[in-house]
Structure 1
Amino acid sequence: MSTEPQSIPTEDRTLDAGALKALAHPLRVRIYNLLGERGPQTASTLAALIGETSGATSYHLRALASHDLIHEVVGRGTGRERWWELHRGSVNVPGPDETSTPAARAASQVVMSEFFRLRNDSLLDYLNRSTADQPEEWRDLGLVLTSRLDMTPEQMAEVRDQLKAVLDGAVERFRDQEGKPGTRRVSMRTEIFDLADGPDRHLTIEEES
């Protein structure tokens, strides 16, 4: 779907109040998420994926672009058919407790709730996918792993940093492979968090699919 990768700088970013409020709309979070999952899209292709009019998706794309949340793909498309993509680099969405105003707090709650709803939906779609719907070379590659054990804050921080290093390294190595033969978009996730008042001790549950 894409042309050869452009030389686009990578920039890590924490959303300011304006960008956070611009993103705080369920349809815009969904559009943002689809650009991450499927790569560059137009208002028309997004409309087909979402079930909205291209006028609606075009409006929301412009709103996202006005706060530099997305940008137009250089050298692709026409004046009538513009292609949009995410910026490179990580984006940090401040949590409700990190915001300074009630409006920003409400915006953060909308963005976080919708993002994790979509994240959960995509995981369930993967888990419920029939083996027959997957190319043979892609079968049995996914891993959904849950382990519960007791850790100190220092140990948890150490494991967190190790997991982040693995993902950061993969992003750096495979960043420019979009559109290459034999590739498809892959979702990489890590989850580690403390279970307040949880009863489980040294219990490990592993699910692989």
Structure 2
Amino acid sequence: MTANDTYGRTLEPSALKALAHPMRVRIYDLLSERGPQTASSLAALIGETSGATSYHLRALAAHDLIREVPDRGTARERWWERPKGRINMPGPAEAMSPSNRAAAQIVTTEFLRLRHQTLMEYINRPESDQPEGWQDAGLVMTTMLDITAEQMTELKNELSAVVDAAIERYRGQEAQPGTRRVTLRAEVFDLPAAPRRRTPEQE
């Protein structure tokens, strides 16, 4: 399966295994966050050698997870980008083979670790480091609901529709003055069941 500008690519086992390396997840995340990069610029961001980042870039490209930017760069300095479109990361599932399950666990754990790191950097960023007009633009919110599985599915679909609408509304604005790359996160999941409290009649 080839990554393209459409939504909905679920990583097949071979691509999942190719991504299952902390540095490759970091490279993939940086290409999403900062746009096209070279092996040298990624090396500077990560704190590694350009030889190491170049090796991992080729491994990601072999599975269409990233691609070379057309008409940019030279034979010595190639530019790479993450194709647009949604990528579904399958979490570790019992139906997977042990090796695929281990790969999925590495990928999801590293992505969520980087996601939390980005959130904490935002929360702890001094107000003086934020551009004018951006200080109160963000939102970090957590709430609890008591709902059924059907209601949670309905809520999930509503949130997905809001995100999809925002993607379409702001598509192609990256070159406009005053824009910044932002991260939009949406999560809704059930918590582990609480132990049932014993009634006086049961004691």
TM-score past 0.5 threshold: yes
Quote the residue 1:145 is aligned against. 141
Alpha-carbon distance between aligned partners in 1 of 2:139 and 2:123, rounded to the nearest angstrom: 10
Alpha-carbon distance between aligned partners in 1 of 2:105 and 2:185, rounded to the nearest angstrom: 21
Letter in 1 for 2:17: K
Alpha-carbon distance between aligned partners in 2 of 1:17 and 1:117, rounded to the nearest angstrom: 22
TM-score by length of 1: 0.88
Alpha-carbon distance between aligned partners in 2 of 1:99 and 1:42, rounded to the nearest angstrom: 38
TM-score by length of 2: 0.90
Give the count of matched residue pairs.
192
**Contact conserved, 1:10 with 1:87, CA < 8 A, in 2?**
no
Alpha-carbon distance between aligned partners in 1 of 2:75 and 2:194, rounded to the nearest angstrom: 56
For residues 70-149 of structure 1, what are the structure 2 equivalents within 5 Å?
70-97=66-93, 100-149=96-145
Tell me which of the two structures has the higher relative contact order, counting C-alpha pairs closer than 8 angstroms and 6 or more residues apart.
1
Alpha-carbon distance between aligned partners in 1 of 2:180 and 2:192, rounded to the nearest angstrom: 38
Does residue 164 of the first structure (1) align with residue 157 of the second (2)? no
Does residue 26 of the first structure (1) align with residue 13 of the second (2)? no
Match of 1:183 among 176, 179, 185: 179
For residues 183-202 of structure 1, what are the structure 2 equivalents within 5 Å?
183-198=179-194
**Could you say which structure has the larger radius of gyration?**
2
Give 4+ residue runs of structure 1 displaced > 6 Å after superposition: none
CA RMSD of aligned residues (A): 1.5
Does residue 42 of the first structure (1) align with residue 38 of the second (2)? yes
CA shift for structure 1 position 41 = 0.7
- Residues 1:184 and 1:107: Cα distance change in structure 2 (over 3 Å): same
Quote the residue 1:203 is aligned against. none
Counting aligned pairs with the same residue, the percent is: 64
- Can you give the 5+ residue segments of structure 2 that lack an aligned partner in the other structure? 196-203
- Residues 1:142 and 1:182: Cα distance change in structure 2 (over 3 Å): same
SS in structure 1 of the partner of residue 178 of structure 2 = coil
